[in-house]
Amino acid sequence: MGLIDILHKIAGILPVIKPPAKPLGTKERLMWTGVALVLYFLMYETVVFGVVQAPSTGGFDFLQTITASKMGSLLTTGIGPIVLASIFLQLFVGAGLLSLNLKDKADKAKFLEVQKILAIILAFAEALIFVVITKIIPVIAITGIDPTFLMALVVFQITIGSMFVLFLDEMVTKYGIGSGISLFIAAGVSLSVFVGVVQLLFGSTGFVAIMSEGGGEALPNAILEMLPFGFTILVFLAVVYAEAVKVEIPIAFERVRGLVPKLPLKFFYVSNIPVIFASALIINMQLFSAGLIGTQYWDKTTQESMPAFKTLSDTFQYDFSRDGILPLIGYTTIDGQLQDGLLYFFTPISGLGRSTVDHYNFMFNQVTPIFHIPQWVHGITYVLMLAAVSVMFGLFWVETANMDAKSVANQLSESGLQIPGFRRDPRMLETILNKHIFPLTVMGSLAVGVLAGLADLTGALGTGTGILLTVGILHRMYEQLEQMKAFEMYPSFTRMLGEQ
């Protein structure tokens, strides 16, 4: 019996949300989507027992945005385990390591069951990393409860929360609109934007506070404080425009003459996947450095904050923290934010609670801890790194997800499609498609990387990647709603597509 069959049997023990007995209308699907959102936000605001409050983790704002999570809550891991499990399995299937045919219903069902088991395992592993290894989530001491048991209890609660998200995702997929993963990402980013706008308006250094101080510079400073919101709108509009840009290739059905539809290839050919992978790589760098080197501690003798591996630097009679030379890794603060080393140049310039004016002053006027290189150089290296790695992951994803020219040509040929004026040969189709797919993959991946990086530097609310994801998600949800309305107005469409 293979591993897939074993996991398939284990998955049979888990509860399953059955599909609706009859097709649901738009109102019913909207209702179930609303129920899922309410439950999501309740879990988002529920801090697990053993943690006083959700800790401040400025270094992981991006991670919390794209995984719809909140450190210290029941949604500490969010949708991260589900996404990672899906990515791993798709890569394994694409590389031929798993013999599953996703076009076959039985194999597709096995794939989803194995994904559920793997997601639970990853949720437990991530909870261990956050609580036990990196201690990003501090567990408080409670009288009468063993600390080890309490840490295990916190890990257990986070894992249970992740399992509940699994079933919410399944519920939205079968009863709601779109998928739960997409819905929760859009909800998390939208909440982040809303909270950010409120903070910009009514925070201690916000628009209202600055205007109340009066003076000749009050209005310019207040407007400058609102720049992140303006950049958020600009990035939103830029992504909406880019989503609409596409290349259309005329195709024809072999058996239906006169019908010449068009094959649309979007400018964002691989969507936002490249920048998600690239940003996740940067986050893993931070997690790796935090786990390997440790966090900082306060040295009472020198009255300085030192890396936890201070004894190692003492051995070599060299103060890495003071002189800022840790060329390979870098050290982290308690919130997981990289502070030194070469990896520091590949991370975004975090606001760390600073006002907008202070953030821009820091970026343009301050220097980095290593070699006193200007922070604006740090910003440029971050954008270039994000763009370059995005292109690399974009090319990788196209090959593994069967989106390359050869795979698309074979799919069109099997469907009886051809390009007018050319003979029906997959090799000819591949040559023509490759002229478009390869440039679109490179340019689209480069564009999403640069756009996300620049948005992060400007302080756009919800992070650049978050905005990219949200625009795409809302666009797909809108298209699905339009299709649902068409099915309700014309029931014959449903019968033509073979839906029951």
pLDDT given at position 482: 74
- Interval 39-50 mean pLDDT: 91
Indicate the range of 4-8, 116-120, 378-382, 405-409 predicted with least confidence: 4-8
Which residue's entry shows tokens 């490179």?
Answer: 442
Q: How confident is the model at residue 164 (pLDDT cuts 50, 70, 90)?
A: very high
N- to C-terminal Cα distance for the chain? 35
Pure H helices in 203-226: 207-213, 218-225
Q: What is residue 35's predicted lDDT score, i.e. its pLDDT?
A: 93
pLDDT at 351 over 80: no
- The residue whose two tokens read 């989503």 is 243
* Residue 483 confidence (pLDDT): 72
Would you state the structure tokens that stand for residue 271, as one six-digit string?
């969507």
Q: What φ, ψ does residue 349 adopt, rounded to 5°? A: -80, 105
Q: What is the mean pLDDT of residues 76-94?
A: 81
Give the whole-angstrom CA distance, residue 284 versus residue 272. 18
Does 219 have pLDDT greater than 90? no
Helix 464-489 and helix 426-458: axis angle, to 10°?
Answer: 130
Residue 295 φ/ψ region, left for φ over 0, alpha for ψ in the -120 to 50 degree band, beta for the rest: beta
Average pLDDT, the chain: 76
Question: How would residue 416 be classed by pLDDT, with cut points 50, 70 and 90?
Answer: low
pLDDT tops 50 at residue 440: yes
Predicted confidence (pLDDT) at residue 298 exceeds the cutoff of 70: no
Pick from 92, 91, 179, 163: which is nearest to 127 by CA?
163
pLDDT value for 317: 34
Flag whether pLDDT at 102 surpasses 70: no
Give the three-state DSSP class for 316: coil
Amino acid identity of residue 239, one-letter, is V
At 171, list the tokens: 């519920």
Q: Using the 8-state DSSP alphabet, how is residue 73 labeled?
A: B
Distance CA 499, CA 23 (A): 9
Distance CA 356, CA 227 (A): 8
* pLDDT score of 296 more than 50: no
Asked if pLDDT for residue 134 goes beyond 60, the answer is: yes
Q: What domains lie within the chain, and their CATH numbers?
A: 24-177 (1.10.3370.10), 227-500 (no CATH)
Give yes or no for a contact between 283 and 350, defined as CB atoms under 8 angstroms apart: no
Mean pLDDT lowest among 182-186, 224-228, 302-306: 302-306
Structural contact between residues 130 and 73, judged by C-beta atoms closer than 8 angstroms: no
Type of residue at 283: I
Angular region, 162: left φ>0, alpha ψ -120 to 50, beta rest:
alpha
String of DSSP letters for 207-276: HHHHHHH-STTHHHHHHHHTHHHHHHHHHHHHHHHHHH-EEEEE-EESSSTT---EEEEESSTTTTHHHH
d(CA 341, CA 276): 23
The dihedral through the CA atoms of 208, 209, 213, 218 has a sign that is negative
Residue 360, pLDDT > 90, answer no
- Name the burial class of residue 289, with classes exposed (0-12), middle (13-18) and buried (19+) by CB atoms within 10 angstroms of its CB: buried
- Residue 45 CA to residue 40 CA, distance in Å, equals 9
**Rounded to an integer, what distance in angstroms lies between the CA atom of residue 476 and that of residue 374?**
41
Between 19 and 43, the higher pLDDT residue: 43
Q: What is the structure's pLDDT at 158?
A: 94
Res. 56: pLDDT tops 70: no
- Nearest Cα neighbor of 89 from 78, 100, 79 is 100
